[in-house]
Structure 1
Amino acid sequence: MKNIKIYNNLNPPTDLEQNQIVLFLLTQLEEYGDPQHDIEKAIAYALKDNPGGLVIAAMDGSILTGAVVLNRTGMDSYIPENILVYIATHKNYRGQGIGKDLMRTAIDQSQGNIALHVEPNNPAKNLYEKLGFTNKYLEMRLIKKN
């Protein structure tokens, strides 16, 4: 990884950079991704003043090779202070340590604990475990129908 850019409310990305990150996550998350609108909302939340969060981009020259979106929860102790909403590495750059570098940057730049959701079959699960993430709970959700 050649260059890491860290964005927040005090150092926001340009509109072009933000759009590039949105489209990158939309395509590179593949089957683990969300609709574009949801990605845009998570990034907008991260760039707010309070509680806000971080957007981290890995660049190889002008090529976006990885991205992280970390949102602060505004909570502490009983609910982690941060949730890692998205992380992706460009499919042509996988296996080069970019995901690990992005995770370490997110850990170093955030304050407090970090939660994340990962599907059991996602290969990134091994990386998270190597970095010290544990599976404390089984998450369950109720999706209300309007």
Structure 2
Amino acid sequence: MFTVEKKDKNQQPNSTEVQYYVDFLYQHLEQYGDKREDIKKALDYALGIDNKPGGFILTAKDEQSKIVGIAVILNTLMSGFIPDHILVYIATDSKVRGKGIGSLLMDQLKKECSGAIALHVEESNPAQFLYEKKGFEKKYIEMRLNR
């Protein structure tokens, strides 16, 4: 049995917890992840640090209160032409994948969010099947100009 906890600007995790989240995501996102400093920026945004719009972090825990999954959702403060929320990261511990943790996190974040939710997924990421099962649709091809 797994439980889900929510952290946001009103219920801030301490700095040790945040560092644990960064390390967890860095490890378990594997080839689909980002640099630690970029993960930390997303967590700070979700927690409303430096007057960012905020969002929230969901952690899935096992019976021993060990984190086995994390989802990070950012608020965009837009609606209609841009989704209200962006699911930036979702990862489960590689040792317990396939046990419904990702599905549990997806169900909870859908309850927590009002309005549209967007996410980016690489074509080769097998998690896209979970996203489609949970109601997400392929809508756009993302293109970026990095400078």
Amino acid at match of 1:45: Y
Q: 1:113 aligns with which of 108, 112, 116?
A: 116
Residue 18 (structure 1) aligns with = 18
Residue 128 (structure 1) aligns with = 131
Separation in structure 2 between the aligned mates of residue 50 and residue 121 of structure 1, nearest angstrom: 31
| Per-residue CA distance 1:37-70 (angstroms, 9 max, x = gap) | 0000000000006520010101112321000010
Unaligned residue ranges in structure 1 (runs of 5+) = none
Q: 1:57 aligns with which of 44, 56, 59?
A: 59
Fraction of identical pairs, as percent: 46
On the 8 A contact 2:2/2:101 being kept in 1, the answer is no
Runs of 4+ displaced beyond 6 Å: none
TM-score, normalised to structure 1, is 0.95
Of residues 45-54 and 21-30 in structure 1, the stretch that sits farther from structure 2 once superposed is: 45-54
The alpha carbon displacement at 1:124 in A equals: 0.4
Unaligned residue ranges in structure 2 (runs of 5+) = none
What is the aligned residue count? 144
TM-score, normalised to structure 2, is 0.94
Residue 140 (structure 1) aligns with = 143
Separation in structure 2 between the aligned mates of residue 50 and residue 29 of structure 1, nearest angstrom: 24
Are 1:77 and 2:80 matched, yes or no? Answer: yes
Q: Secondary structure at the match of 2:6?
A: strand
The alpha carbon displacement at 1:2 in A equals: 2.4
Q: Secondary structure at the match of 1:92?
A: helix
Residue 2 (structure 2) aligns with = 2
Q: Secondary structure at the match of 2:5?
A: strand
Separation in structure 2 between the aligned mates of residue 137 and residue 29 of structure 1, nearest angstrom: 23
Structure 1 residues 37 and 50, CA gap change in structure 2 (3 angstroms): closer
Are 1:88 and 2:102 matched, yes or no? Answer: no
Amino acid at match of 1:11: Q
